[in-house]
Structure 1
Amino acid sequence: MACLLPIFWNLLVFLVGFTSSVTFVGDDPVVELSLGKIQGGTMQSFTGKTVYAFRGIRYAQPPVGQLRFSNPLPETSWGDEVLKATSDSLVCPQPGITLFMSEDCLKLNVFTKNFEEKLPVLVYIHGGANVLGSGHSIYEAGPQYLLDHDVVFVAFNYRLGALGFLSTNSSESKGNFGYLDQVMALEWVRDHITHFGGDPEMVTILGMSAGSMAVSLHLASPLSAGLFHRAILMSGSATNHFDIDNLFWTRKLARELGCPMYDPTDLVECLRNETWPRIVAICKAWETYQFVNMKWNYEIDGYFLPRHPTELIEEGNFNKVPLLVSYTANELDYTVNVHLENEPLLHDLGSNFVEYSPELFLYKKNSIISQRLKDFYLGDNISGINTENIQNFGQIFSDGIIGHGVHRLVHLARHYTPVYYMRTDYFGDRSMSAPLDKDQKPLGVGHADDLQYVMPGLWYGTIMPEGHPDIFMMQRLTSWCTQFAKTGIPLNTTAIWPPCNSTDLKMLYNGVVTQVGSPGYSDRYAVWDELFPTPAGSGGAAWKPSFVVAIATGMASRLIGKLM
Structure 2
Amino acid sequence: MSSPVVKVAEGQLSGKVCQTSDNTQFFTFKSIPYAKPPLGELRFAPPEQPEPWEGIRDATTNCNICAQFDRETLQVVGDEDCLYLNVYTPSLPNSDSQPLPVMVFIHGGGFMFGNGTDDAVHGPDYLIEKDVVIVTLNYRLGVLGFLSLDCKEAPGNMGLKDQVQALKWIQKNIKNFNGDPNNVTIFGISAGGASVEYLMLSPMSKGLFHKAIAQSGSSLIHWAQNNHVKTLAAKIPITKKKIITDDKDLVKYLKDMPLKDLITSSMLVLATDKWRGGIHFGFVPALEKDGDWEPFITKSTYDLLSHGEFEKVPYMAGFCNREGLLMLSSNYAANLERLLEDKDFLFHLPFQLDDTQKLDVETKLKTVYLEGDKNYDDIDSYAIDFFSDVDFIGGIYVSTVLVAKNNSPVYFYQFAYDGGLNYLKKKLNIDRKGACHGDDGGYLIKSALLQGNLSDTDKLVCDRMCIMWTNFAKYGDPTPKVDNVITTTWEPIAETGLAYLVIDDKMTMKYENTERMKLFKELYEKYYKP
Gaps of 5+ in 2: 371-376, 483-487
Question: Are the counterparts in 1 of residues 423 and 441 from structure 2 also a CA contact under 8 Å?
Answer: no
Match of 1:444 among 434, 437, 462: 434
- State the Cα distance separating 1:262 from its structure 2 match: 2.7
Per the alignment, in what secondary structure is the counterpart of residue 140 of structure 1?
coil
Tell me the residue number matched to 1:487. Answer: 475
- State the Cα distance separating 1:144 from its structure 2 match: 1.0
Aligned equivalents of 1:206 and 1:334: distance in 2?
Answer: 21
Match of 2:418 among 410, 422, 427: 427
Question: Are the counterparts in 2 of residues 42 and 52 from structure 1 also a CA contact under 8 Å?
Answer: yes
Question: Are the counterparts in 2 of residues 378 and 389 from structure 1 also a CA contact under 8 Å?
Answer: no
- The percentage of aligned residue pairs carrying the same residue is 29
1:496 aligns with 2:489: yes
Paired residue type of 1:265: K
Tell me the residue number matched to 2:9. Answer: 34
Paired residue type of 2:18: M
Paired residue type of 2:41: Q
Tell me the residue number matched to 1:513. Answer: 506
Structure 1 stretch 269-278 or stretch 208-217: which is displaced more? 269-278
Structure 1 stretch 199-208 or stretch 33-42: which is displaced more? 33-42
Tell me the residue number matched to 1:269. Answer: 252
Gaps of 5+ in 1: 1-23, 546-564
Match of 1:152 among 133, 141, 157: 133
RMSD of aligned C-alpha atoms?
3.2
1:118 aligns with 2:118: no
1:305 aligns with 2:288: no
Aligned equivalents of 1:543 and 1:100: distance in 2?
Answer: 36
Tell me the residue number matched to 2:279. Answer: 292
Tell me the residue number matched to 2:65. Answer: 91
CA deviation string 1:514-535 (max 9, x = no partner): 1111146x311222222221xx
1:52 aligns with 2:36: no
Tell me the residue number matched to 1:532. Answer: 524
Paired residue type of 2:236: L
Alpha-carbon spacing, 1:34–1:337, altered in 2? closer, same or farther (3 Å): closer
Aligned equivalents of 1:40 and 1:496: distance in 2?
Answer: 39
Tell me the residue number matched to 2:374. Answer: none
Question: Are the counterparts in 2 of residues 66 and 272 from structure 1 also a CA contact under 8 Å?
Answer: yes
Structure 1 stretch 256-265 or stretch 225-234: which is displaced more? 256-265
Question: Are the counterparts in 1 of residues 351 and 528 from structure 2 also a CA contact under 8 Å?
Answer: no
Aligned equivalents of 2:261 and 2:359: distance in 1?
Answer: 39
Aligned equivalents of 1:464 and 1:72: distance in 2?
Answer: 40
Tell me the residue number matched to 1:411. Answer: 401
- State the Cα distance separating 1:241 from its structure 2 match: 5.4
Aligned equivalents of 2:78 and 2:67: distance in 1?
Answer: 5
Question: Are the counterparts in 2 of residues 142 and 456 from structure 1 also a CA contact under 8 Å?
Answer: yes
Alpha-carbon spacing, 1:530–1:107, altered in 2? closer, same or farther (3 Å): same
Which structure has the larger Rg over C-alpha atoms? 1
- State the Cα distance separating 1:73 from its structure 2 match: 0.6
Aligned equivalents of 1:38 and 1:339: distance in 2?
Answer: 41
Question: Are the counterparts in 2 of residues 30 and 37 from structure 1 also a CA contact under 8 Å?
Answer: yes
What does residue range 354-433 of structure 1 map to in structure 2 within 5 Å?
Answer: 356-357=347-348, 361-364=349-352, 374-378=362-366, 390-415=380-405, 416-429=407-420, 431=422
Paired residue type of 1:509: V
Aligned equivalents of 1:142 and 1:355: distance in 2?
Answer: 40
Question: Are the counterparts in 2 of residues 322 and 488 from structure 1 also a CA contact under 8 Å?
Answer: yes
Aligned equivalents of 1:508 and 1:379: distance in 2?
Answer: 27
Question: Are the counterparts in 2 of residues 30 and 38 from structure 1 also a CA contact under 8 Å?
Answer: yes
1:472 aligns with 2:460: yes
Question: Are the counterparts in 1 of residues 69 and 76 from structure 2 also a CA contact under 8 Å?
Answer: no
Aligned equivalents of 1:342 and 1:298: distance in 2?
Answer: 25
Tell me the residue number matched to 2:166. Answer: 185
CA deviation string 1:540-561 (max 9, x = no partner): xx8569xxxxxxxxxxxxxxxx
CA deviation string 1:74-102 (max 9, x = no partner): 10211x32111101211111122668511
Paired residue type of 1:93: A
Paired residue type of 1:447: H
Aligned equivalents of 1:391 and 1:56: distance in 2?
Answer: 43
Tell me the residue number matched to 1:335. Answer: 327
Tell me the residue number matched to 1:254. Answer: 237
What does residue range 139-218 of structure 1 map to in structure 2 within 5 Å?
Answer: 139-218=120-199
1:456 aligns with 2:446: yes
- The number of equivalent residue pairs is 499
Tell me the residue number matched to 2:373. Answer: none
Alpha-carbon spacing, 1:401–1:367, altered in 2? closer, same or farther (3 Å): farther
Question: Are the counterparts in 2 of residues 31 and 195 from structure 1 also a CA contact under 8 Å?
Answer: yes
Alpha-carbon spacing, 1:59–1:337, altered in 2? closer, same or farther (3 Å): closer
CA deviation string 1:88-124 (max 9, x = no partner): 2111111226685111000000000111230000000
Aligned equivalents of 1:284 and 1:218: distance in 2?
Answer: 27
Per the alignment, in what secondary structure is the counterpart of residue 247 of structure 1?
helix
Paired residue type of 1:198: G
- State the Cα distance separating 1:34 from its structure 2 match: 2.1
Aligned equivalents of 1:271 and 1:335: distance in 2?
Answer: 33
Alpha-carbon spacing, 1:478–1:342, altered in 2? closer, same or farther (3 Å): closer
Aligned equivalents of 2:251 and 2:359: distance in 1?
Answer: 40
- State the Cα distance separating 1:255 from its structure 2 match: 2.3
Alpha-carbon spacing, 1:529–1:311, altered in 2? closer, same or farther (3 Å): same
TM-score (norm: length of structure 1):
0.81
Paired residue type of 1:429: G
Aligned equivalents of 1:368 and 1:251: distance in 2?
Answer: 34
- State the Cα distance separating 1:370 from its structure 2 match: 5.6
Tell me the residue number matched to 2:314. Answer: 322
Question: Are the counterparts in 1 of residues 279 and 332 from structure 2 also a CA contact under 8 Å?
Answer: no
CA deviation string 1:385-429 (max 9, x = no partner): xx9753322322211121011111221111222111110111113
Question: Are the counterparts in 2 of residues 333 and 391 from structure 1 also a CA contact under 8 Å?
Answer: no
- State the Cα distance separating 1:463 from its structure 2 match: 3.8
CA deviation string 1:447-499 (max 9, x = no partner): 011100000225xx434557665111111111111110000010114981111
Aligned equivalents of 2:99 and 2:445: distance in 1?
Answer: 22
Paired residue type of 1:193: I
Question: Are the counterparts in 2 of residues 336 and 390 from structure 1 also a CA contact under 8 Å?
Answer: no
Paired residue type of 2:198: L
Alpha-carbon spacing, 1:372–1:448, altered in 2? closer, same or farther (3 Å): farther
Alpha-carbon spacing, 1:525–1:30, altered in 2? closer, same or farther (3 Å): same
What does residue range 119-134 of structure 1 map to in structure 2 within 5 Å?
Answer: 119-134=100-115
Alpha-carbon spacing, 1:127–1:519, altered in 2? closer, same or farther (3 Å): farther
